[in-house]
C-alpha cells in the first residue's frame, strides 16, 4: 500500500491536474499547504475521497512537511510514502511503467525508489543504485525513515532530499533510480529555454545547506562531493552573473555561508 504527500505553495488550478496524473496509483494523498497565508485550493481538490489536508496557512518547510506525512502514513498503515511537489506530473505511460516497475522491484534494504527527472538521461538500464535523487516522486520506506530520524528539519528547504539519501545509505539502505522512466519536473523560474532563475532566498538556503551536508558527508562520499562542489560553484556563478539584483544575491549567498558557520539552521527567511 502506497500513500503520497504533495506540498503546496500558493497553488494554481493546474496543480490539481498535476495531482490527477498519479492520484489513481496511490491509496491516500496527504496535502501540506506551505503558503504563508490562507489561500484558495484548486476547485474540487479537497473533495477527492483520497485526499487528506494535514496542514495549511503556515510554511513549515519541506523536511517538516514530509515528516508529518511519514507520521501519518505509519499511523494509517502505509509501508511506502511517495513525496511530491505541486509542479510535477507524470505522463500516462511513464506513470504506468513507474508503478509497475516499483511493484516488481526487490524491497530488500530498499530505502527509496525514484524516477529520472530529465528525459535526456533515459536509458534501458532499468533500476540502478545511485547516490542521491530528488524528492519528487521518490517512494520512501516509511518505517526505515522514521527509525533513522526522518528528514532533517535543520535544512528547512533545499538539500533535504540529498541529505536523506546519503544518511540512509550510511545505514545500509539502497537508493534505486528507474532509468527508463521520467517525471515531468520544474525547478526555478524559467527565464528562457533551459535557463532557470532562483530567488535570492533560495540561493541562501542552497548555499547554507550545501555547506551543512558537505561537512557531514564529504569524506564518506568523496566521488559524489567532487562533482557536487564543482556543480555548485558553476551554478552559483551562473545565478549571480546572468540575472539582476547581483548585490543582493551576493549578500544572501554570503549570509548563507555565515549562518552555516554560526550554526543558524532551520527557517531563517520567508519566501
- Each domain of the chain, given as residue ranges in start order, spans 2-182, 189-261
Instruction: Please check the confidence at residue 271 and state whether its pLDDT lies above 70.
Output: no
Average pLDDT of every residue of the chain: 93
Q: Which three cell numbers stand for residue 44?
A: 474540487
Which residue, among 157, 162, 97, 98, has the nearest Cα to 130 in the 3D structure? 162
Instruction: Please check the confidence at residue 200 and state whether its pLDDT lies above 90.
Output: yes
Question: What is the mean pLDDT of the segment spanning 139-154?
Answer: 98
100 torsion bin: left (phi>0), alpha (psi -120 to 50), beta (else): alpha
Element (DSSP H or E) covering residue 262: none
- pLDDT level of residue 57 (50, 70, 90 thresholds): confident
Structure-model confidence comparison of residues 38 and 50, the more confident one: 50
Predicted confidence at residue 185, as pLDDT, reads 82
Which residue, among 33, 24, 42, has the nearest Cα to 5 in the 3D structure? 33
- pLDDT level of residue 101 (50, 70, 90 thresholds): very high
- pLDDT level of residue 58 (50, 70, 90 thresholds): confident
Question: What is the mean pLDDT of the segment spanning 184-200?
Answer: 68
Query: Which alpha helices (H) appear in the chain, and where do they start and end?
Result: 14-23, 61-75, 92-104, 142-147, 160-170, 200-217, 222-241, 246-261
Cβ-Cβ contacts under 8 Å for 38 (sequence gap 6 or more): 56, 57
Share of the chain above pLDDT 70, in %: 96
- pLDDT level of residue 191 (50, 70, 90 thresholds): very low
Predicted confidence at residue 96, as pLDDT, reads 96
Are 114 and 175 contacting, i.e. CB atoms less than 8 angstroms apart? yes
CATH code linked to domain 2-182: 3.90.550.10
Question: What is the mean pLDDT of the segment spanning 223-246?
Answer: 91
Q: Which three cell numbers stand for residue 97?
A: 511503467
Predicted confidence at residue 124, as pLDDT, reads 83
pLDDT in tens, 7-24: 999 999 999 999 999 999
Structure-model confidence comparison of residues 206 and 244, the more confident one: 206
Amino acid at each position: 500500500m502506497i500513500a503520497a504527500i504533495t506540498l503546496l505553495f500558493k497553488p494554481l488550478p493546474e496543480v490539481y491536474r498535476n495531482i490527477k496524473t498519479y492520484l489513481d496509483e496511490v491509496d491516500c494523498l496527504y496535502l501540506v499547504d506551505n503558503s504563508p497565508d490562507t489561500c484558495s485550493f484548486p476547485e474540487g481538490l479537497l473533495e477527492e475521497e483520497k485526499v487528506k489536508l494535514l496542514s495549511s496557512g503556515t510554511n513549515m518547510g519541506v523536511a517538516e512537511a514530509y515528516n508529518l506525512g511519514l507520521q501519518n502514513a505509519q499511523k494509517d498503515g502505509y509501508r511506502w510514502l511517495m513525496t511530491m511537489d505541486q509542479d510535477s506530473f507524470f505522463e500516462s505511460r511513464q506513470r504506468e511503467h513507474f508503478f509497475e516497475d516499483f511493484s516488481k522491484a526487490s524491497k530488500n534494504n530498499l530505502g527509496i525508489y525514484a524516477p529520472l527527472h530529465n528525459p535526456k538521461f533515459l536509458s534501458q538500464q532499468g533500476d540502478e543504485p545511485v547516490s542521491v535523487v530528488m524528492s519528487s516522486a521518490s517512494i520512501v520506506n516509511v518505517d526505515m525513515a522514521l527509525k533513522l530520524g526522518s528528514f532533517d528539519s535543520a535544512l528547512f528547504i533545499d538539500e533535504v532530499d540529498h541529505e536523506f539519501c546519503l544518511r540512509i545509505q550510511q545505514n545500509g539502505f539502497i537508493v534505486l533510480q528507474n532509468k527508463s522512466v521520467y517525471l515531468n519536473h520544474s525547478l526555478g523560474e524559467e527565464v528562457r529555454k533551459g535557463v532557470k532563475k532562483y530567488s535570492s532566498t533560495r540561493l541562501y538556503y542552497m548555499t547554507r545547506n550545501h555547506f551543512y551536508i558537505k561537512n557531514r558527508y564529504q569524506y564518506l562520499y568523496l566521488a559524489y562531493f567532487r562533482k557536487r562542489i564543482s556543480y555548485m560553484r558553476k551554478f552559483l556563478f551562473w545565478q549571480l552573473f546572468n540575472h539582476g539584483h547581483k548585490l543582493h544575491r551576493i549578500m544572501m549567498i554570503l549570509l548563507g555561508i555565515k549562518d552555516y558557520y554560526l550554526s543558524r539552521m532551520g527557517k531563517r527567511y520567508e519566501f
